[in-house]
């Protein structure tokens, strides 16, 4: 993947507000998926998809 395309995909990924909120939480340290999911109205599988 060319660098410019890779950079765009990274910015697209972090443009999602849920992913940004997950990243903000993970800056405090590791957390189990269930703990992360409890902060959102989305299902645990949906949060797992965001993490992938």
Report residue 3's pLDDT band, with 50, 70 and 90 as the boundaries: confident
Handedness of CA 32, 34, 39, 42 (dihedral sign): positive
Give the pLDDT band (50/70/90) at residue 10.
confident
Cα–Cα distance, 27 to 14 (Å, whole number): 14
pLDDT at residue 6 greater than cutoff 80: no
Q: Which domains does the chain have, with CATH numbers?
A: 3-51 (1.10.10.10)
- How far apart CA 26 and CA 18 sit, in angstroms, is 12
pTM metric for this prediction: 0.74
Calculate helix-pair angle for 17-26, 3-14, nearest 10 degrees: 90
């Amino acid at each position: 993947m060319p660098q410019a395309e890779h950079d765009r995909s990274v910015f697209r990924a972090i443009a999602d507000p849920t992913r940004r909120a997950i990243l903000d939480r993970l800056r405090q340290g590791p957390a189990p998926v269930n703990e992360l999911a409890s902060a959102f109205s989305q299902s645990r599988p949906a949060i797992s998809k965001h993490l992938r």
